[in-house]
Amino acid sequence: MCSSGCAAAPPPGAELPLPARGEPLEFSFAGTDDVVVSSATTRGRVTVLVFVATYDVASQLLLRRLADVIVRFTPRANAAAVVVEAPRYAELLPAYRDSLQLPFPVVMVDFATAQGQGPFAWIERVPTLVVLDRTGREVARRQGTLPAGELEDDLTRASRALR
């Protein structure tokens, strides 16, 4: 799991191997103001989770590109930024979301993921983008920044995954 020694500059758009296709992932990430992004709240739509650090410029760039893509993508898809920092910074999430003008929630990583366990156990760098299909199965994982066109391609592939 990414900690204070995170490498913030992986090769742009690096694709990572996916776990064997199995059961849908179960997760729950909380933000402020009772915001929760979970497997239950995202099922039925393609979902993009971006694991970020607020201080990382590459994370900010990827989130802005995703924000531009997600508002015009059809069919509608879910998106969320998952901050992989200490929980004491949770109160800053609304300011981070507003400063980047993000149209999706910004939430904190859960304890299991922060400890390198759970369904996203192998998050090693920020930013890491994870795309889930409508059933909650992981269909893409990338590290680093991506051009808007590649984000759209990943969303389109995930949308067609079950057709």
CA distance 80 to 48: 6
Confirm whether 7 is domain-assigned. Answer: no
For 50, the domain range is: 30-160
Confirm whether 119 is domain-assigned. Answer: yes
Predicted model pTM: 0.87
Confirm whether 127 is domain-assigned. Answer: yes
Predicted confidence band of residue 3 (pLDDT cuts 50, 70, 90):
very low
Q: What is the pLDDT of residues 138-152, one digit of tens each?
A: 999 999 999 999 999
Confirm whether 5 is domain-assigned. Answer: no
Confirm whether 47 is domain-assigned. Answer: yes
**How many domains does the structure of the chain reveal?**
1
Q: What is the mean pLDDT of residues 129-141?
A: 95
Q: What is the pLDDT of residues 61-103, one digit of tens each?
A: 999 999 999 999 999 999 999 999 999 999 999 999 999 999 9
Confirm whether 63 is domain-assigned. Answer: yes
Residue 151's CATH number: 3.40.30.10
Confirm whether 133 is domain-assigned. Answer: yes
CA distance 62 to 103: 14
Confirm whether 19 is domain-assigned. Answer: no
